[in-house]
Structures are given as C-alpha cells and as structure tokens.
Amino acid sequence: MDLAKALAISAAGMQAQSGRLRVVAQNLANADSAATTPGGAPYRRRTVSFGEHIDHRTGVPLVGIVAEGVDSSPFRLRYEPANPAANKQGYVALPNVDPIIESMDMRDAEEVYSANLAVMQAARGMLTRTIDMLKQ
C-alpha cells in the first residue's frame, strides 16, 4: 500500500533529522571547549551527510545519514597568555563551532522533522478513514 510507503519514507526522514539534531547538540555542547595542552587542538565541529538508500523490504528509497565527518575550517584563536593551553604566542585554540550556524542547522532540522511528522499524520488519518469506511 502506498500509504505504508509514505509512512516509511517520513519515518526515515524523521530519523535522519534526529541524527542531525544530535550532532548539532554535540557541537553546541562543545562550542567553548578549549584545547587542554599548549598548542593543542580543541573540539572540531562535526557534520553529517545525507544520502539515499533503498529499503530492501519495501523497495522504497529512503533518506539517511550516510556519513559523519569533521569540519576542517580553522579554529578560532583567543589571546590568553596566562592560560596553560596557550601556544608560544599566547593564543588558545577554540573550537570551530559557530553557535549561529548551529542554531540555523537546528531550526532547519526541526522544520524538516515537523514536515515529515505532518506527512505521517496525514497518512495515518487517511488509513484510519479507510479502515472506518471498510467497517461500515
């Protein structure tokens, strides 16, 4: 039944966005994690990549997270010569996490999740009405 496929597609989309939100939360939680050793590297921003795969049970193309990576953009530097993690020039490396970008990713994930939830609710309502009609 096509409605069951629509439910599977929406569920996969919701699961993918949940994974994306997990990575955003991880990035935000570590946004101020400075390096712990002089000249050391702090937390690096994580990213996700989405891709399509075929559900072998239903034959339906579904979205999912196909890879988690790291953002190779440069770290932020803050001048703190008294910090034990400062390099020879007195700078401490901070994560390459921009809370504004993470907030936008979070908002986008929420909107896509909500859209998939709306599709699921519509499909469920159609299935319910069909079953009610068949009962009569």
Q: pLDDT over 70 for what percent of the chain?
A: 99
What is the pLDDT averaged over residues 85-90? 90
The C-alpha torsion from 56 through 61 and 62 to 66, rounded to 10°, is 90
pLDDT tens digits along 93-130: 999 999 999 999 999 999 999 999 999 999 999 989 98
pLDDT tens digits along 45-64: 999 999 999 988 888 999 99
Confidence (pLDDT) at 1: 57
pLDDT reading at 39 higher than 80? no
Best CA proximity match to 87, nearest among 43, 33, 39, 42: 39
